[in-house]
Amino acid sequence: MRFEKPVPVTTIAQIIGAQLMGNKEGMVTGINELHKVEKGDLAFVDHPKYYETCINSAATFIIINKETSFPGGKALLVVDEPFEAYLKIVNHYRPFVPSMKMISDSSSVGAGTVVMPNVYIGNHVQVGRDCVFHPHVTILDHCIIGDNVTIQAGTIIGSDAFYYNKKTNRDVHYKKMTSCGRVIIEDWVEIGANCTIDRGVSHDTIIGAGTKMDNLIHIGHDTIVGKNCLFAGQVGIAGATTIEDNVTLWGQVGVSKTLTIGKDAVIYAQSGVKDSIAGGKVYFGSPVEDAREKMKEFVWIKRIPLLWEKVMGKK
């Protein structure tokens, strides 16, 4: 999340009651989770395992639960509970104020856009021109929809990220990391019926221009989908993943988090992508491999009985 305007780090330290160390003159431009953090951003870390990564990330300001050494120009904000401090900042700068009207007065809808009955449009949503939103579509706060976008019935844009802080010494193990990101849908995107596109937990989920999605598709928080992609029914993509341009995912493909699928890749139905894969190729399997290699494997498996007979004398 970008703040509306940069905030002095001293203000942030005061809001969360932190001991401020290092660069006390800095201006904080936004808050982000580790995978998406940029210069000027605030990030948080509460486990020694991730101290190094966080302190050496692009983040200029680090909320942390222990004094540590850190590069010059950066600042540490030391608190007992960095996760609680994060929540405090998000709730301060982007509080959840649910709109109780079907179409919020603070939203804007461009000329020529058709909003069919029972569509919900939340606070500060911006919708472009010549879109069609079918019945029962839900577009939640702060999302941005381009021009010529079609969203079919029952689809949800901007549901909260599935992102939790886990501590097994609490009664409630998982505590939600409040989402302050958005969903941005570019021009000429079409999204099928009963899909769900989560907002970024702290960055944005982006669907590139000209991408077309079938029904019952799930796109996780902070995921970036390129231009002119084609996703068939029931595809699921986890959070903070990058799908480059012109990628084709056939039905029921699953894609794991924080990976990249290269440009022009084609993934056959029901495959599972668990690590980054290069573009320009065709894949199959769970986990995926080169589709042709995978097909050959099926043939090899069928030859085991013959091998067995030859080696062992009989089946």
> Please, which of residues 66-105 interact with a second copy by CB under 8 A?
98-102
Cβ proximity to a second copy, 72 vs 313, nearer residue = 313
Q: Does 24 bind a second copy (CB under 8 A)?
A: no
Q: Which of 153, 259, 266, 282 binds a second copy (CB under 8 A)?
A: 153
Q: How many residues bind a second copy (CB under 8 A)?
A: 76
Is 123 a binding residue for a second copy by CB under 8 A? The answer is: no
Smallest gap from residue 157 Cβ to a second copy (A): 9
Using rule CB under 8 A, residue 311 touches a second copy: yes
Enumerate residues 216-245 that contact a second copy by CB under 8 A: 216, 218, 220, 228, 230, 232-234, 236, 238
Q: Which of 23, 159, 242, 258 binds a second copy (CB under 8 A)?
A: 159
**For residue 32, what are its two tokens?**
């982000």
Among 73, 135, 278, 280, binds a second copy (CB under 8 A): 135
- Exactly one of 203, 246, 261, 277 binds a second copy (CB under 8 A); that residue is 246
Q: Which residues does the annotation mark as catalytic?
A: 221
